[in-house]
Amino acid sequence: MGKCHKCGNEYDKSFDITINGDTYTYDSFECAIDELAPRCAHCDCRIIGHGVQANNSIYCCASCARHSGEDELVDRV
């Protein structure tokens, strides 16, 4: 039975995620996403897909990148 790193819930179906050698235990994808998924540099939403990246910033979509002055990124070609 693992204890969720995010909410503290003990759950028999918990799972571990290892990132850069650090292992975290979660009871749900919701907790894992809330804690680990990056945030869009423009709208601050959690990015659970691929996102787009420009320089050192990551955005949820090309529209948010454009709002931040990154005109070269597109969602579709």
Nearest one of 51, 50, 48 to 64, comparing CA atoms: 51
Residue with tokens 């919701």: 30
Residue 73: pLDDT over 90: no
Instruction: Average the pLDDT over 53-69 and give the result.
Output: 94
Question: pLDDT per residue over 8-42, tens digit each?
Answer: 999 999 999 999 999 999 999 999 999 999 999 99
Q: How far apart are the first and last CA of the chain?
A: 47
Whole-Å CA distances, 8 to 21, 32, 53? 21, 12, 33
Q: Is 18 strand, coil or helix?
A: strand
pLDDT at 72 over 90: no
Tell me the two tokens of residue 39. Answer: 């945030």
